[in-house]
Amino acid sequence: MTDGPSPAREARRYHLAIVFSDLCDSTTLSSVIEAEHYADVLAALRRAYTDVIPKHGGLVVRIQGDGMLAIFGYPHAEENAGRRAAEASLELHAIVRELQLDPPLPREAALGLHTGIHAGLVLLDDGDVFRGVFDLLGTAPNVAARL
């Protein structure tokens, strides 16, 4: 047994497909329903993220609020990582559209997702409680978040 923290893993480059998703108009949604009901929406959304992404071979890197960052093609690059990212995203959109909440949301508060998918070279480093499972550095994560 050693005293102190374990040595950090060296950051490495990976070619990844990256998915960033978050709720459409979440600020408006949170203002037209009670806080407890908004918490139920977030819990259902987070369950969807953690169920769907691994089912398609991805890894959820970070969930923050109503947003999620996931990667496909880790730890080994795969030709179909982009396709699997797209299939996972389509399934997430279908789940969110069909969510049945109690009480039902008001008419002006329909649920939907924004999703960006982008692939590219990423410097992947160890994460922490603030940065998520991994810290992703490079253009690809930024593009996915902005799409």
- According to DSSP, the residues that pair with 124 across neighbouring strands are 12, 136
Q: What digits encode the pLDDT tens for the residues 87-146?
A: 999 999 999 999 887 778 777 677 899 999 999 999 988 887 777 778 888 898 888 888
- Smallest CA-to-CA distance from 115 within 27, 17, 19, 46 is with 19
Where are the extended beta strands (E) located within the chain? 12-23, 59-64, 67-72, 113-128, 132-137
The CA distance from 75 to 14, in Å, is: 8
Fold of 12-146: Alpha-Beta Plaits (3.30.70)
Which pLDDT does position 8 carry in this prediction? 55
Helix (H), strand (E) counts: the chain: 4, 5
pTM of this prediction? 0.85
The Cα–Cα gap between 46 and 39 comes to 10
pLDDT tens per residue, range 43-55: 999 999 999 999 9
